[in-house]
Amino acid sequence: MTSKVNAKPSTPITPQAAQRIQSATARANGGSVPKGSFAARATSSAAKNSK
């Protein structure tokens, strides 16, 4: 039983959405965003999508 993982989302993340995610993560972690966290990956993805 294998499941196919779609590597590219159907709706790319926007820089504004990534900013909201990063802001919420920073508030929850005392001002820092952990490396490799969902917020960090979202920010990276938004930067790639905006090019």
What pLDDT digit, counting tens, does each position of 5-51 carry? 666 657 889 999 999 999 999 999 999 999 999 999 999 999 998 87
Residue 2 lies in a domain: no
Domain count, the chain: 1
Q: Is the pTM of this model over 0.85?
A: no
For residue 20, the enclosing domain spans 15-49
Contact 50, 12 (CB under 8 A): no
Please determine, for residue 2, whether its predicted confidence score (pLDDT) is greater than 80.
no
At residue 48, what is the residue type? K
Residue 45 lies in a domain: yes
DSSP character for 12? P
Tell me the residue length of the chain. Answer: 51
Residue 5 lies in a domain: no
Is the torsion defined by CA of 22, 28, 31, 36 positive or negative?
Answer: negative
